[in-house]
Each structure stands twice: as C-alpha cells, then as structure tokens.
Amino acid sequence: MMTANPFFSELRRSWITQAALVIAVLYTLVALFGPWIAPYDPTRILSMPRQDPSAQFWLGTDEIGRDVLSRLLYGTRIAYVVAIVATGIGLVFGALLGLIAAFFSGYADSIIMRLMDILLAFPGLLLALAIITILGPGLGNAMIAIGVGSIPEFARLMRGEVLGLMNRDHVLAARSMGAGNLRIMGKHLVPFALATMLVYSTAQLARAVLTEAGLSYLGLGVQPPTPSWGGMIATGQQHLTTTPLLALIPGAAIMGLIFVLNILGDSLRDALDPHQRGLSRKPS
Amino acid sequence: MTGSHTDDASRPLLEVEDLSVEFPLPRTSLRNRGPRALRAVSDVSFTMRQGETLSIVGESGSGKSTTGRAILRLPPPTSGSVRFDGIEMSSLAPRQVRDLRRRMQMIFQDPLASVNGRMSVGDIIEEPLIIHGLGRAAERRARIVELMELVGLKPGWQGRYPHEFSGGQLQRVGIARALAVGPDFIVADEPVSALDVSVQAQVINLLARLKQELKLTLLFIAHDLSVVRQLSDRVAVVYLGRIIEIAECDTLYASPRHPYTKALLSAVPLPDPKAEAARTPILLEGEMPSPLSPPSGCPFRTRCWKAQPLCAAERPPLAPVSPQTEVACHFPEPAADTVPAGQLQPQ
C-alpha cells in the first residue's frame, strides 16, 4: 500500500546507514542466539581470575574467573529485553495519554500534560532511581522505571502529531460521516502518527540501553550473578589499572549499540520527514 | 434508500436562522486588548426546500465554508438555530447528531486530503455504511459496486489506493462516499475548486445528474459565480460573514442588485467575444477587510464605489427588493429590466 518505502530508498543512499543496519542485525542475532553461541555458562567460575584473552577465553576471564565473552553475549540479551520492554511501556502509555490529551483537549489536555511536565522535570536516571527506590531493585522494576521515565516525551510527541492531524480533512470527513471517537482515533489518527512514534522509539531504545546500564552499574538493575553490561563495568572498573579490558569491553558494547541505534533513528527520521512535513500532502 | 422524509412539500428541509460562528482567539498579552474572537459568520439566515440547490458564493475568508460546516455542526455554530426536517440540531445529544449524519453528508474541496490515504477506495466508500450499521458484508459490497457505477468509476478499482487516482476520479470517490448512506441533504464545499477546468465540468454535470436522480437537496459552496449557474436554483452571495444578496439563480445573473454581486459577475468571462469586449468590467480595489476589525455599517462600503455616509453609519439589513431577490444594500442597483429611474429610497 505504500509506494517505494522511503526507508529503503534512504538506505540505498547512505553507506553509514547500511553499515549501522548490518551491525544492528549482528547485535540482534547475538541477543536472540547468545545462549547458543556463548562458549561457556556465564555464571560459572572456569579458571583463574583476570586472565588475558587467549584461545580458550577469547576475551579473557573476569575478576572471579568467569568467561567475559559469554557474559557479554548474555548481557546483550538482557540489554535488548530491558530496552524493548521499557520503550514499549513508554510508547504505549505515552501515545495513549498524548492521544487522549490532544483529542479531548480542555481539562483532559491540561491535567495530562501538566502531569507529564512534572515527570519531565526529573532527569531520566534520577527518576528511574526514585522509582527503583520505591519498587526495589531488579530486572522487572528497572524496565518499569525506565519505561515510566520515557512516557512524557512519547506523550508530548503524540499530542503534537495528533493535534496536527485533527485539522486534516480526512478526519473532518470521518466526523461528517458520523464516525465515533474510537473509530476516528483508531483508523484516522493513530496510523498516521505511528511513523513518527516509531522513529522516536528507535532513539528511545538507545537511551533505555544507557539507563539500564546506569542502573545495573549502580547495582539497582539486573542483579548478580545474572550478567549485564552495566554490572560488568561496575566490577571491571575496580581493576581498571591492571585489567582495563574488563570495563572497556562492555563499555564498547554499550557504545556500539547506542551509536548504531542513533544512526538508524536519524536515517528513519530523514526518510520519513519530507513526507510528513513536506509541501505535498501525499499519503505516506 | 433516499425516500423523502418530508411529505409536506411546502415545509423547508433546512431552516437556518441567525447562524453565527466565532473562533476564540488566543490571548496574546495579559492586558488582553483587542477582540476575543474572530467572527467568521454573522447572523446568516436562509431556508432550503426539499430538492432545492442553493449556492453560497464568496471570496476566500468570507465565511462560506464555515457556514456549510456549522450547519453540520463541524464545529457547531456559536449561536443561532439550524433546523433540519423540523429538528433543532442544537437540542440533540451527540449520539443523535451522529445518527442524523446519515441524512446529511458532505463533499470536500480537496479530494486527496479528504480521504484516508491508508484505505482502499472500496473501504473508503464502505466506511459510512459500517459506521451506520447498514447491511451485511455482502450487501455492503454490492452497494459499493452500485455506488461506483453511479458516479462513473469502474467497480474493479475498489482495491486501489487514493494516490493512484486523478483528482477528478478521487472527487467521484468522495461523492460516492457521501451518497453511500442515502442522505437527502449534501453540503458540497467547493467540490470542484481543486480540479482542472476540464474536469470541473464533468464533476458539475455528475452532481447535476445525481441531484435529479436522487432528489438531493444540495448546499453548494463556491468562490466563483461561473461554476454554480448550471446547478443552482438560488444563489446567496456572502461577504465578510454575511449574506449580502440572495436571489433566484436566473434573476441574480440577469439583474444583480448588490454592487458586490455586480462586480463579481463582471469578472465572469462571457462566451460571446463581442459581448465580452463591449462591457466594462468593474474592478474592485483593495481586499476584503479583516474579520477581526470589520468596518462599521455596511461591510462592503470600504470597496464600494457607491458608498455614502449612511453606509458607514448603518448596516443595511437583508431585505426583499423583489419577489425573487433579497439584498443588503442602502442603494441597490436598479433591476435590469426596469428603466433606472429614481433610486430606491434607503430604508
């Protein structure tokens, strides 16, 4: 139904996007199949602590002798799960609140958006810390904390999109036909706002990865012995002068994933932008 | 499906009385000087008989589209009354308004913008049927085919998407969608303004035919007197949110009484080149005043070549000057078939 998907034409134009996509696919494969690729059990002590990379342990062993490569691969999966679930929470609740605020305007708009402003006043990690303090540390609570923190931005974005869409003729036409609110929202507003929301979700995924790493680094996210990138940095940094790889490897993994997600998010935005803000109101 | 709901032919289908529409303005400063609202439509009144076509003509910004939309409560008027088939629209609950939309439909100016680009044209035409719960799936499919044939589209195209169609074809989709639920009243909001001239005539002809076949009551909104003549029984000319002249179609074209109508008509090209060369067009100076600060008295006086002090002091009411014509002017033009003897006295 969409003519020549704009993302794919953007993809053809830019080799950076192509490279980012390849790397993102690799990360995703690792997240999906990490447990099968990993040479060892990530929680088992296999040898002497802090060994240098070798044929047996490609990335060496950590401070108590576990395989760093296996922990890294398992950690990818954790990072993915947290990022996707947290972003999903933010997207669903944020979009819903933004839609309600824009659609009903008036009091609903004022109340919802002032609440969002309050949430927005806290820096992301601080808000996550506050929520973790209430709910207690752990994987699930980390996802909730990160997700709730991203609701306001999603809500603001969705509200802006819907406000713009509400003035479009096809929405007025639906109303003139006698369509009810649910039909107008579901069929004539949400599908048109979705593209923008997905672009923002990509950027939000990167932020969620970073926040999860931050929480785990502080010991409030994923609990040991479950491997997580943030946790690996936290323990690795104690040996930064003697075995810097222990902190640098998970650091590089985080940096790489965020970098790639940001590039993909930007490309996606470039690909969709002219269609949404451009002069010609072609159906995108 | 289009059975006449009013058996009493003399009773109007639509009665609009003192309709006004205001749009609230954002407060720009705390001291809040200046107007609080933009008055797009002021005290518009008219009635429409079953099966009649009334055209509303005016420049952009004159409030003509807003009038049409306010009748359908999109958005509802600020004040005034709209009675449809005797039912006062403002007294209805939202649910009842939505049910009534089955009888009142709308055709839009921009055929591409007014359809959902993510739906196939078959789905677009079917949507009002689903909304109003008309027919089972198979019956609805048959109805789509029937409607597409009625407006001159190939039924085989129903799986296609809007961007695959030309403007004229897409406007036919818009018309089919409006007709789907069998309405008896249709607001056509500049349905041909966005189309090529050659396609305009086709769509006008289609509307003229459908109006006959389906006994539609049509409120036709246009910014150009030339396109409405063929279709209209009566024409209302609006300026700055007010009706300044409303007359039987032929009378208005033969004998415009308001200076503004006369100026508009002089801009319509004549088919006969000799006649076109012989007449002197009236060129209006300036632009329509902002509805934020309308002039005192007659809204048209700032551009009228006949303006007198009275025009600034008093707004002329819309009043009958002949059985066919009502005009809002202190010094209306003489009727064309009478010798321009004494001026009509101001009221």
CA–CA gap between residue A86 and residue A97 (Å, rounded): 16
Q: Which residues on A lie below 8 Å from B115 (Cβ)?
A: 170, 173
Cα B67 to Cα B17: distance, rounded to the nearest angstrom: 12
Mean pLDDT confidence for A52-76: 83
Put simply, the chain B residues between 199 and 258 with a CB less than 8 A from any chain A CB are none
CA distances, B54 to each of A177, B22, B188, B233, B246 (Å)? 21, 23, 10, 6, 9
- Residue A197 structure tokens: 């929301």
Q: How far apart are CA B21 and CA B242, in angstroms?
A: 11
Identify which of B116, B163, B177 has the shortest CB distance to residue A282. Answer: B163
Lowest mean pLDDT among A63-72, B59-68, B226-235: A63-72
Give the minimum alpha-carbon distance from B135 to chain A in angstroms, rounded to a whole number. Answer: 16
Question: Encoding tokens for residue B15?
Answer: 């009665």
Residue A160: which of A114, A208, A97 has the closest Cα? A97
Residue B302 DSSP class: G
How many Cα neighbours within 13 Å face the side chain of A108?
A: 12
Q: How confident is the model at residue A139 (pLDDT cuts 50, 70, 90)?
A: confident
Put simply, whether the predicted model's pTM sits higher than 0.80 gets the answer yes
Q: Which residues of A touch B (CB under 8 A)?
A: 1, 3, 168-170, 172-180, 183, 187-188, 191-192, 281-284
- Residue B72 near chain A (CB below 8 Å): yes
Q: Over the stretch A183-213, which tens digit does the pLDDT of each residue have?
A: 999 999 999 998 889 888 988 999 999 999 8
Closest CA–CA distance from residue B131 to any residue of chain A (Å):
6
Residues whose CB falls within 8 Å of the CB of residue A200, separated by 6 or more in sequence, listed in order:
A153, A154, A157, A265
Smallest Cα–Cα separation from A96: which of A5, A17, A189? A189
Contacts of B69 in chain A (CB under 8 A): 172
Which chain B residues are closer than 8 Å to A172 by Cβ? 69, 74, 108, 114
Nearest residue on chain B to A280, alpha-carbon basis: B113
Q: What is the token pair recorded at A277?
A: 């803000």
Q: How far is B345 from chain A (nearest CA, A)?
A: 45
Is B101–A177 a contact, with Cβ atoms under 8 angstroms apart? Answer: yes
Q: Which residue has the tokens 């609990």?
A: A223
* pLDDT tens-digit readout, B306-329: 889 999 999 999 999 998 899 999
Answer whether A28's CB lies under 8 Å from A73's CB.
Answer: no
| Helix, strand, coil shares, percent, chain B, to 5 | 35, 20, 45
**How far apart, in whole angstroms, are the C-alpha atoms of residue A256 and residue A99?**
34
- For chain B, counts of helices (H) and of strands (E): 11, 12
Look at A178 and B162 and tell me if their CB atoms are within 8 Å. no
- Tell if the CB–CB gap between A191 and B115 is shorter than 8 Å: no
Report pLDDT for A246. Answer: 85
Evaluate whether B218 touches B53 at the Cβ level (below 8 Å).
yes
Q: Please report, for chain B, the start and end positions of each structural domain, with discontinuous segments joined by +.
A: 14-24+36-255
- What is the CATH code for A17-277? 1.10.3720.10
B114/A178 CB distance under 8 A: no
Q: Does A274 have pLDDT greater than 70? A: no
CB contact under 8 A, B114 and A1: no
Task: Give the pLDDT of residue B235.
Answer: 95
- Tell me the mean pLDDT in the region B208-230: 91
With beta carbons less than 8 A apart as the criterion, state whether A100 and A108 touch.
yes
Residue B341: which pLDDT band, with cuts at 50, 70 and 90?
Answer: very low
- Please calculate the CA angle B6-B9-B14 and round it to the nearest 5 degrees: 60
SS (H, E, C) B70-109: HHCCCCCCCEEEEEECCEEHHHCCHHHHHHHCCCEEEECC
Chain A within 8 Å of B65 (Cβ-Cβ)? no
DSSP B27-68: P-SSS--S-SEEEEEEEEEEEE-TT-EEEEE--TTSSHHHHH
A283 and B98 within 8 Å at the Cβ level: the answer is no
Domain ranges of chain A: 17-277
Q: Report d(CA B170, CA B180) in Å as an integer.
A: 15
Burial of B184 (0-12, 13-18, 19+ CB in 10 A): buried
User: What was the pLDDT predicted at B4?
Assistant: 45
Q: How far apart are CA B52 and CA A90, in angstroms?
A: 54
CATH class of B14-24+36-255: alpha beta
Of A169, A178, A284, the CB nearest to B102: A178
pLDDT at B292 over 90: no
pLDDT at A11: 67
Nearest CA in chain B to A168: B113
What percent of chain B is modeled with pLDDT above 90?
Answer: 65
| Structure token digits, residue B173 | 């989709």
pLDDT surpasses 80 at B343? no
In this complex, do B116 and A188 lie within 8 Å of one another by their Cβ atoms? Answer: yes
What share of chain A in percent tops pLDDT 70? Answer: 91
Q: How far is CA B248 from CA A236, B158, B236, in A?
A: 90, 40, 9
Residue type, B325: T
Strand order in the sheet with B87-88: B37-48, B14-24, B79-84, B87-88
Residues A66, A49: Cα–Cα separation, whole Å:
7
| Per-residue pLDDT at A40 exceeds 90 | no
CA distance to partner chain A, nearest, from residue B132 (Å):
8
Pairing mode, if any, of strands B53-57 and B217-222? parallel
